[in-house]
C-alpha cells in the first residue's frame, strides 16, 4: 500500500509537532511526503502532476493545523483546482473511487472542549463533515481521523502513543486483528531502527517498540485473568 501525505502549514519550520511527526517517517518507500508550501511557494499548483500523484497512491492523507475548524488556504486551493469536475467526479469514471482518505489534524485546544457544552461547541466528527462529504463525492473510503490535541503540552509517553497512531494512519492496512496490528508495528519500528538514524531518533523508536510490547504484555495478562475467572 502506498500513501500520499499532503502536508500544509503556513509555518512548517516553526511547528514542533509537524517536525516531530515528519522526522519519524524519513526514507519510507511507501510514503510520498508532499509539502504544498514547499512545492508551490507562489501557490501555483501543477494540477496535472497532482492528479497523476493521486492516481499512483492508494491512501491520501491531508495533514494540517485545524485553524478555524478547516484546512489551510493552500489545501483548499488544491481541492478546488486538482479535484475538478471531469477528473474527480461528474463523469462515469471516478479515478479516486475505492482509495482511502484520511485527516491528520493538529489542534491547539483540549479535546474536552470539542463537544456540546464545551467551548468549541461541536465534535471533530461534526466539524469535519465537509471532508466526509468530499470523500463521499469522490467514492473514497473515509478513515478515522487522527486528531492531535495540544501536542505542545504532551508528556513523552503521550507523544509516543500519538506517533504510533500516526504510523498506523500512514502505513497500516485497515481491518487487521489486534495481534497482527502489534506485530506489524513492531516490524515497522525494527526496520526503521536498522536504518541510519540520528541517536535521538533511534532512542524514540526503541522506546516505541518497548511501549507496544508493554501494551501487549498487559493485554496478555488481562486475558489470563479472564481465563482464570471462567475456569473457576
Helix-helix angle 47-56:73-82, to 10 degrees = 80
Question: For the purposes of burial, counting CB atoms within 10 Å of the CB of 123, is it exposed (0-12), middle (13-18) or buried (19 or more)?
Answer: middle
Residue from 111, 120, 161, 182 that binds a copy of itself (CB under 8 A)? 120
Q: Is 211 an interacting residue with respect to a copy of itself (CB under 8 A)?
A: no
Q: Which three cell numbers stand for residue 95?
A: 479515478
Neighbours of 3 (CB within 10 A): 20
CB of 75 to a copy of itself, least distance (A): 9
Q: Is 83 an interacting residue with respect to a copy of itself (CB under 8 A)?
A: yes
CB of 114 to a copy of itself, least distance (A): 9
Closer residue to a copy of itself in complex, CB, 4/25? 4
Residue from 26, 35, 77, 94 that binds a copy of itself (CB under 8 A)? 77
Tell me the three state secondary structure of residue 32. Answer: strand
Question: 133 and 79 in contact (C-beta within 8 Å)?
Answer: no
Q: Parallel, antiparallel, or unpaired: how do β-strands 3-7 and 141-142 relate?
A: unpaired
Size of the site for a copy of itself (CB under 8 A): 28
Tell me the three state secondary structure of residue 64. Answer: strand
Q: Give the span between the Cα atoms of 88 and 30, in whole angstroms.
A: 23
Q: Taking the chain, what is the end-to-end CA distance rounded to the nearest angstrom?
A: 46
Residue from 49, 55, 112, 129 that binds a copy of itself (CB under 8 A)? 129
Q: Is 142 an interacting residue with respect to a copy of itself (CB under 8 A)?
A: no
Per-residue contact flags (x/-) with a copy of itself for residues 162 to 201, judged by CB under 8 A: ----------------------------------------
Site for a copy of itself in 23-52 (CB under 8 A): 43
Residue 186, phi then psi, degrees to nearest 5: -60, -40
Closer residue to a copy of itself in complex, CB, 73/98? 73
Q: Which stretch binds a copy of itself (CB under 8 A): 29-37, 127-135, 210-218, 221-229?
A: 127-135
CB of 17 to a copy of itself, least distance (A): 17
- Name the CA dihedral angle for 226, 183, 143, 66, rounded to a multiple of 10 degrees: 100
The contact set with a copy of itself (CB under 8 A) reads 10, 43, 67-74, 76-77, 79-80, 83, 119-122, 126-127, 129-130, 132-134, 136-137
Amino acid at each position: 500500500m502506498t500513501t500520499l501525505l499532503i502536508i500544509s502549514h503556513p509555518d512548517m519550520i516553526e511547528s514542533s509537532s509537524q517536525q516531530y511527526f515528519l522526522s519519524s517517517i524519513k526514507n519510507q518507500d511507501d510514503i510520498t511526503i508532499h509539502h504544498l508550501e514547499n512545492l508551490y511557494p507562489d501557490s501555483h499548483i501543477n494540477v496535472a502532476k497532482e492528479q497523476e500523484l493521486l492516481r499512483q497512491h492508494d491512501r491520501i492523507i491531508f495533514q494540517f493545523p485545524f485553524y478555524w475548524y478547516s484546512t489551510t488556504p493552500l489545501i483548499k486551493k488544491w481541492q478546488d483546482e486538482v479535484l475538478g469536475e471531469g477528473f474527480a467526479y461528474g463523469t462515469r469514471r471516478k479515478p479516486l473511487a475505492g482509495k482511502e482518505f484520511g485527516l491528520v489534524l493538529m489542534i491547539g485546544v483540549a479535546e474536552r472542549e470539542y463537544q456540546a457544552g464545551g467551548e468549541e461547541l461541536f465534535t471533530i466528527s461534526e466539524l469535519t463533515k465537509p471532508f466526509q462529504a468530499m470523500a463521499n463525492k469522490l467514492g473514497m473510503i473515509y478513515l478515522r481521523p487522527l486528531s492531535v490535541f495540544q501536542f505542545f503540552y504532551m508528556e513523552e509517553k503521550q507523544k509516543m502513543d500519538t506517533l504510533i497512531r500516526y504510523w498506523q494512519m500512514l502505513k497500516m492496512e485497515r481491518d487487521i486483528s489486534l495481534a497482527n496490528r502489534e506485530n506489524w508495528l513492531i516490524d515497522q519500528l525494527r526496520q526503521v531502527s536498522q536504518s541510519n538514524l540520528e541517536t535521538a531518533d533511534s532512542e524514540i523508536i526503541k522506546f516505541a517498540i518497548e511501549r507496544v510490547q508493554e501494551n501487549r504484555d498487559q493485554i496478555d495478562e488481562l486475558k489470563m485473568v479472564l481465563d482464570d475467572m471462567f475456569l473457576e
